[in-house]
Structure 1
């Protein structure tokens, strides 16, 4: 089971924090040894997330290649982003944090596969040192999964990605839709393994998307915020429909920049930045704030809420690294509880609920189909005695019949 709070996964719970409740749905009553109606007397074994071997995981990292990633890591700096030297750009810092992300993933047990997918559109000839296919969120690019233990991920970050110049527009929703569509393809047995009978196996891999961006979606953009939000909602609805195919798929979002409130403080406003009033969306000298500095906090929050994922805004490398570490904990971290059902009976339907006071997990239903003793010991003993008497009676009849024939 996962322990998740308002601010992310809860990793420091102890065994005594947990309780187990079993319900006999046929009798609509609790199941407990010695007729005690409580959780705590259901004994169980327990493992922390650090000791548990997680299921296989497939993680897609959507990496923003927009021109604003050329801006300085010093978010208090103002001026032309194109003049920021390599090594001091947000782009360079973001790549370094992805290297840390890969190293952190190696410390977890289990098999974790990561695909780092640069995204963007409207590649500008002359400004970019790559072509459209590099940032096209295609099945081929999405499918470039590498085990975190492999050197291929580090090689990609150090060479293929580091040598590029971010320069695109930001097609967040289109890229996210294609990623969700890819991971909800139930014919792909890596993501949806089945047994010989064609039924899903018990240990389904964990599927996740991490969206890393520093801006706003340019495809749904409009200078009127109400219109832009309406277009965004249309895209959210399309993605939500896809997610119905796999409600377990998780989307986490990470914004690199300042919140609207922090951006307002930077430019001397005593309030959060207003989309309609404050941002220069293009050659509007009456507006104070350049669009390359605007991070759409509301949009990334709405995206992560589709799957109850985590959304974070980070203003420096340390905060980004901590956020990515938090995402890994949410994806891979899980408490393991193993218990023995007291006096199970074949054919009856039971539910199990785990709780960390006062929060309860969703119930999990199961049925015993093949077990040894299917009733309490007193009933089994009685049935056994009746069987012995029945067999003995037939033996007496047979003995008398045989004796009569011999005479």
Structure 2
């Protein structure tokens, strides 16, 4: 991203706000990608039965498209020589249909079954090839793998900081790639988010692979109109049907995926095209960059405190991004004294210092004389 993509909004304690555009910045820097902090990334790959279907975007089998997208993501990270450790985690749970290929990841098995490895570890590509050929049949549950991933990352964070206490703590990232939805209640979702938002911070990026709910509704036959504001997978499934195929297999829980991403400082993207899914994955690498902005606070007062929010806009992203936590800056200013006043102060300091030295020498000589007289 470029300087023009950034906007700063500041506000003082009296709620007086100022917007600063890129032209107002004093300086803008993008650090070298090779100097970025170590990052641990858990990639959650949906292995539910619907991933065996072809996508409507390019008629590619979704599982094949997803694994190819992850391969491109890994290649891009290697080309940029990023310090990234990867844990590739497939997930798929028992449902109403018998299934011989379950990937029931949980907090007990994720660390042992899916350890973090270096980007150049050939096992990553071997596993992707293996997953691509699986006759998937499991059910979707995004809650369990997200909670397990958070525990996996935080355990690695603790281990890393204990082994390398002198280094900057690593970044923690989860990437969820899914084409469906689960039936967990809103209360269960909120409980999951509480786990995700614990410290240290984990950014969760969610990628929907398939049609948006609006696209699905438009090609379906619905018994009533569903406003965009009320588009949920439950409403679409309950009121719409497809002329061919089961609509359940195409519904993605966009509101939930978007909410998870925004709550954790991640990004949300959706596409039914495998190439675009790969591009969306690679965009996650850009979020690992740090941008340094130098600016002068307009109308700053001495010792004033200002709440600063950074907003990022990009035409290639579906939504603009804003910092979830505001930054508070204490703005300390001073007026330099005129040269004559500084010289006067310097003279007085020297005079006082000299007087102190002379007084000490006189006192010292007096004590010496008294001692000689007594002897």
Are 1:73 and 2:55 matched, yes or no?
A: yes
2:172 corresponds to: 207
| 1:163-242 equivalent positions in 2, closer than 5 A | 163-185=133-155, 188-190=158-160, 195=165, 203-218=168-183, 220=184, 231=185, 233-242=186-195
1:251 corresponds to: 204
1:83 corresponds to: none
State the 1:62 CA deviation. 0.8
User: Which deviations, in whole Å up to 9, do the C-alpha atoms of 1:104-155 show, x marking residues without a partner?
Assistant: 1123454211111000111799854x4x4x4424233575111213333223
1:327 corresponds to: 284
Structure 1 window deviating more from structure 2 (206-215 vs 305-314): it is 305-314
In the alignment of these two chains, the number of paired residues is 326
State the 1:381 CA deviation. 7.4
Query: 1:68–1:293: 8 Å Cα contact kept in structure 2?
Result: yes
Are 1:97 and 2:66 matched, yes or no?
A: no
Distance 1:187 1:162 in 2: 30
Distance 1:318 1:290 in 2: 24
1:39 corresponds to: none
Q: What secondary structure does 2:176 align onto?
A: strand
Are 1:313 and 2:282 matched, yes or no?
A: no
Cα 1:111/1:381, change in 2 over 3 Å = farther
The structure that is helix-richer by fraction is: 2
2:127 corresponds to: 156
State the 1:398 CA deviation. 2.4
Cα 1:107/1:279, change in 2 over 3 Å = same
User: Which deviations, in whole Å up to 9, do the C-alpha atoms of 1:370-393 show, x marking residues without a partner?
Assistant: xxxxxxx87787556533421221
Cα 1:381/1:316, change in 2 over 3 Å = farther
2:237 corresponds to: 279
| 1:126-165 equivalent positions in 2, closer than 5 A | 128=100, 130=101, 132=102, 134-137=103-106, 138-140=109-111, 143-158=114-129, 160-165=130-135
Are 1:398 and 2:364 matched, yes or no?
A: yes
User: Residue 94 of structure 2 is aligned with which of 106, 110, 122?
Assistant: 122
Q: Which runs of 5+ in 1 are unaligned?
A: 1-10, 24-42, 78-87, 196-200, 221-230, 340-348, 367-376
User: Which deviations, in whole Å up to 9, do the C-alpha atoms of 1:169-192 show, x marking residues without a partner?
Assistant: 011112212222333448832267
Cα 1:56/1:390, change in 2 over 3 Å = same
Query: 1:65–1:120: 8 Å Cα contact kept in structure 2?
Result: yes
Q: What secondary structure does 2:168 align onto?
A: coil
Query: 2:47–2:92: 8 Å Cα contact kept in structure 1?
Result: yes
RMSD: 4.5
Cα 1:241/1:277, change in 2 over 3 Å = closer
User: Which deviations, in whole Å up to 9, do the C-alpha atoms of 1:1-32 show, x marking residues without a partner?
Assistant: xxxxxxxxxx21179x899x9x9xxxxxxxxx
State the 1:257 CA deviation. 0.5
2:16 corresponds to: none
Cα 1:293/1:405, change in 2 over 3 Å = closer
Q: What secondary structure does 1:279 align onto?
A: helix
Q: What secondary structure does 2:158 align onto?
A: coil
Distance 1:381 1:239 in 2: 67
Q: What secondary structure does 1:116 align onto?
A: strand
Distance 1:114 1:295 in 2: 26
Q: Which runs of 5+ in 2 are unaligned?
A: 13-24, 296-302, 313-321, 332-341
Structure 1 window deviating more from structure 2 (286-295 vs 102-111): it is 286-295
Q: What secondary structure does 2:159 align onto?
A: coil
TM-score by length of 1: 0.65
Query: 1:267–1:289: 8 Å Cα contact kept in structure 2?
Result: no
Query: 1:65–1:135: 8 Å Cα contact kept in structure 2?
Result: no
Are 1:57 and 2:39 matched, yes or no?
A: yes
